[in-house]
Chain A
Amino acid sequence: MELELKKQSRHGYPGLLIPIEGTDGAGRTTQIEMLRNWLAIEGYGVVISEWKTSKLIAAAIDQAKEKNLLHAYTFSLLYASDFADRLENVIIPALKAGLIVLTDRYTYTAYSRDVVRGVSPEWIRKLYNFAPQPDLVFYLKMPVEILLKRIIGTSGLDYYESGRDIGLSTDFYESFKIYQRKILSEYSIMEKEFDFEIIDGTLSVDSVQNKMRKKVKELLDSGVIK
């Protein structure tokens, strides 16, 4: 009888968990959509889960943000509630069913945003310690200057994306620059800590996608899911 060593996913479920991280305007949503289409054609079942989309809690977050009345820890805990709810209702069931789960942002988003807003880095990592460990984390890395142009050219500067709630500067443009720099610096701390697969977000949409597919293909070829 031959002993077969079956490769295991990092979290122990039969599916695969692949978060895509990066600041606003880094192109995450486009890339995830393209990955999904490709994987579907390859014959894999895919589930996408986006940050702040739990049915129950997302509305409460929007309401609170509208009134701009959140303190750093309250803000952080609200997002964690949303995440916990999605984890139990969407992500874990999909992983158990052997699907590939692509998440638009993951706990790392909280580790950067919430720390910039003043919560302790150690506290936030412990808070999310119930999250399954991903099999592969993509980080779409972008320099601030290019991010700024992209965002101004598309959606425009948003109050929270510019970190206006933490009073960095009354100048929207300045505030955005300072805030996003802080966010990027938190991400760079995590590159090694969480073994990010760094992708240069300034490349063309197609080159980014090709690099991502290559990595996902390697993972699939390793036989981690059937």
Chain B
Amino acid sequence: MRLSKSHDLPGTLIVVEGVDGSGKSTQISLLRDWLISTVQDVIYTEWNSSRIISDTTKKAKKKNLLTPRTFSLLHAVDFADRLEQIIVPALKAGFVVLADRYVYTAFARDVSRGVDREWVRNMYGFSICPDLALYFHVPIETSLARICANRAPKFYEAGMDLNLSKDPHESYNIFQGRVINEYDKMIDEYGLVKIDGTETVHNQQVILRNIVSKMLEQKNIRVR
């Protein structure tokens, strides 16, 4: 299916991945400002932001009603909707599309919730293969320290639905530790480009811009 081969659309798809607190959103936002000032036609899309089922997932999350599989399917609905309504049209029109989280988020999180690895990969088989997938790697301690500096981890980000531990911090450690582990396995499987998320914001951004300009130049898009 589409995910396993490179696309032949005129646009460019760049995705950022990593656990909560890995700094990927800060980096993609800086990348976006830079690209807008140089290549101009840039759009940005976030995980779980389609309106089609947001009410349903919100309701379900509140009541903790969903099994991991149903949860996984609903995220796929959201993704499919955004892919067809936003991502694909923009790629056809030649835009640079920046996605904050992509299918790899589902592969990491859903598998960490006990969903079958092959099943979830097949489910997302219709998605477009990115031109560049950046993975911001941080150790679990960094993630926890950044996310929970002044609050307790939230129910789902701590994986409290899995009954791993009654203590939210402990549960966060176990659950997000699994997520990191799944991401690490995908570096080879999908050619994710690993970025050290413990580096300073500036250093990371310099590395990022370097990788992105090279990739864009290969597609004959000039970046200064």
Contacts and interface: CB of A to CB of B under 8 A. Distances in A.
Interface of A: 56-57, 59-60, 64, 69-71, 73-74, 77-78, 80-81, 84-85, 88, 119-120, 123, 126-127, 129-130
A197 B59 CA distance: 40
A127 B85 CA distance: 22
19 contacts: A56-B66, A57-B53, A57-B56, A57-B74, A69-B52, A70-B81, A73-B83, A73-B126, A74-B52, A74-B77, A74-B80, A77-B80, A78-B77, A84-B69, A84-B70, A126-B119, A126-B123, A127-B122, A130-B116
For the complex, would chain B's binding face be called helix, strand, loop or mixed by DSSP majority? Answer: helix
B80 A56 contact: no
Interface of B: 1, 52-53, 55-56, 59-60, 65-67, 69-70, 73-74, 76-77, 80-81, 83-85, 116, 119, 122-123, 125-126
A123 B53 contact: no
A74 B119 contact: no
A64 B73 contact: no
Given A71-B81, A73-B80, A120 B65 contact: no
Given A71-B80, A77-B80, 14 more contacts: A56-B66, A60-B55, A69-B52, A70-B81, A71-B81, A73-B84, A74-B84, A78-B53, A81-B53, A84-B69, A85-B70, A88-B70, A123-B126, A127-B123
Contact of A77 (B55, B73, B85): B73
B21 to A, nearest CB: 29
